[in-house]
Structure formats: C-alpha cells, structure tokens
A = this chain, B = another copy of it.
C-alpha cells in the first residue's frame, strides 16, 4: 500500500508523467514552523545536476495543499504536491510492447492488467522520491537534536566517484553504488519489537526507494565472518555508549544511543543508452531495444537526500510512539 507509519504516517501518490507527485502526512504535531525555503536544500540535493544524473531539472517547488496555517503546521494532514512541469511527450507505446529489462514495466502490466500508467515508469518512477524528500523535511523538524547524514561512499566499485561516473556516461551505461547513512543524537529506546524493530521499519522504508537491493546495519554482512567475542560491543558508561559499534546503534531492534549506521546498495539504473536484447510481448519474439531519452548514469548520486528522508520519516514515527510511553 501507499501508506507508511503509525503515528507519523505518510501516503504517497502520483506518476512520472501525470499532474505531479505528492504526499499526505498525517500525524504532524501542531506548531512546527514551515516555510517554502525549508524544502530548498534537500530538494536541490536530490535534483542536483551532478554529472551522471538526467537533465530533467524541474524546479521541484513543493506546494503545500493543506495542514499549514500562518507558516505553522496545524496538526491536520499536511499535503504536499510537486507538479510535473517538464514532461516529455515521448513515444511510450513501445514500452508496452517491449518492457524494458530491469524495470517494473512487465510486472506493472501484469499486476495492473494493462491499465497502469506506463509513461516514464508511472507510479514506479524515481520521480516519486521528490515527495519523499519533501516529507523528510517535516520529519527532520520533529527529530530535535538529531542529525541525519547520508553519503555515497562508492560507485561502480570505486571510491573515486567522479571518474567512474564520467566513464559510465561515456559508455552510455550505468553504475551502482553504496550509500551510507549515519544518524547522531538519537535517544536509546526507539524501535517497537517484536515486528517493528528499528531495523525492520528502516528497511521497510528504504526498500521503497527504487533501485535499492540490499541493506546492512553496523558491521552488516561482515558480521558473518566475525566471532561473538569480536562483534559484541562492550558498554562503557551509563548512557549506553559502547567501545565499538558493530551493532550499528541497534540492539534487539531498539536504538542504543550510539550512532545509527547502515548502508544500502543501489543497483545500476535499468535505463541505459545501449542496445539490449529482450522480449517483444506483442510479437512474443526477442529483439533489440534501444531506450531513448534521458538516462541517469549513476542514480546512486541522487539517493543520499532520499535516504535521509525515509530515515527521518521512520524515526519520526518511532519518536512519537516513544513519547506516548514517556511519563
């Protein structure tokens, strides 16, 4: 479904080539200051014309449809709409006949019985992450004293990101990457076992970002090769601070007040400028496909602000739930 969260709850909507993309945020505390400028930085980071991202550079100014009055949140649902202003009217009929390898084209056609909006990926488009980033701006404001920072730590297997992206652009190909997120200032106690562990909710939100195919917390997959005597983080003071942080700030699904650390893998963009061999579902024969139009050589470049946003959305929900059980 298109809703996520129990108290701070977001409902997303929109398509790549429709009116726009948007999000309704339910459960926003009243009295939070909110002006258009607040969105600017994160929206710009996502849109950023960095080498390796597409040229579709809409102004992406979030319009507030409800929930704000006199520059303050009211407590009523806060709705944000980001209009699509730069939609190319391409030939999308080909997309129905030849579903692009690696895209949602084929499964969307199957699941929605041929009625899905296939233009530019429709509801599956990365365009929807603009709405996530906008919602993240509100979520971050709830998390007083918390700092969330995500960054691309490697792309195409290399830490020299600029070079590999340029190479991918030249080859008309795409590359994947690793994005790491670090959160500081979180209190101990966030996370609602058994099923709503902090890892469960964060990963739930993270896998809604298109192209994410893996996530690991703290030592992550490296823990498979570690011994307990190495992996266990000794507690060193009454705040719960640990000498090491192999747990990534979460024990038993609950934040432990140390830095929250996790990494995600972003697969290479499916849309590439190279010819691919795949099925024409109309003729039921394989043929060559060259996807025209804009391509992101490295979508992972755009992911950091999006990852921060879904992290903030998830933590804001846990934050409010936690408050319900305070004295």
- A208→B156 CA distance, assembly (Å): 31
Question: Which of A19, A206, A207, A237 is the most central at the interface, judged by chain B CB atoms within 10 Å of its CB?
Answer: A207
Q: Which residues of the partner chain B approach A75 to less than 8 Å between Cβ atoms?
A: 111-113, 115-116, 325
Given contacts A111-B189, A203-B207, A324-B324, whether A79 and B2 have CB atoms under 8 Å apart is: no
A102 part of interface (Cβ distance < 8 Å): yes
Given contacts A13-B65, A76-B123, A213-B217, whether A208 and B225 have CB atoms under 8 Å apart is: no
Q: Which of B24, B113, B115, B207 contacts A11 (CB 8 A)?
A: B24
Given contacts A2-B193, A115-B72, A208-B195, whether A176 and B213 have CB atoms under 8 Å apart is: no
Q: Which residues of the partner chain B approach A201 to less than 8 Å between Cβ atoms?
A: 204
Q: Which of A230-251 contact B (CB under 8 A)?
A: 230-238, 240, 242, 246-248, 251
A104 part of interface (Cβ distance < 8 Å): yes
Given contacts A31-B115, A107-B188, whether A234 and B101 have CB atoms under 8 Å apart is: yes
A199 part of interface (Cβ distance < 8 Å): yes
Given contacts A9-B1, A74-B123, A106-B235, whether A221 and B221 have CB atoms under 8 Å apart is: yes
Q: Which residues of the partner chain B approach A206 to less than 8 Å between Cβ atoms?
A: 200, 203
- A70→B190 CA distance, assembly (Å): 25
Interface of A: prevailing SS: mixed
10 further A-B contacts with Cβ under 8 Å, apart from A213-B247, A223-B268, A229-B276, are A13-B77, A19-B64, A22-B79, A30-B112, A69-B116, A107-B251, A203-B207, A213-B221, A214-B217, A214-B221
Q: Nearest Cβ distance between residue A80 and chain B, in whole angstroms?
A: 10
Tell me how many chains of this kind the complex includes: 4
A311 part of interface (Cβ distance < 8 Å): no
Per-residue interface assignment for chain A, residues 18 to 44, with 1 indicating a CB less than 8 Å from any chain B CB and 0 otherwise: 111110101101110000000000000
Per-residue interface assignment for chain A, residues 179 to 204, with 1 indicating a CB less than 8 Å from any chain B CB and 0 otherwise: 00000000011011111110111011
Question: Which of A64, A79, A103, A213 is the most central at the interface, judged by chain B CB atoms within 10 Å of its CB?
Answer: A213
A177 part of interface (Cβ distance < 8 Å): yes
Q: Nearest Cβ distance between residue A170 and chain B, in whole angstroms?
A: 12
B2 touching A194 by the CB < 8 A rule?
Answer: yes
Q: Which residues of the partner chain B approach A14 to less than 8 Å between Cβ atoms?
A: 65-66, 77, 79
B235 touching A279 by the CB < 8 A rule?
Answer: yes
Q: Nearest Cβ distance between residue A277 and chain B, in whole angstroms?
A: 6
A252 part of interface (Cβ distance < 8 Å): yes
- A111→B320 CA distance, assembly (Å): 14
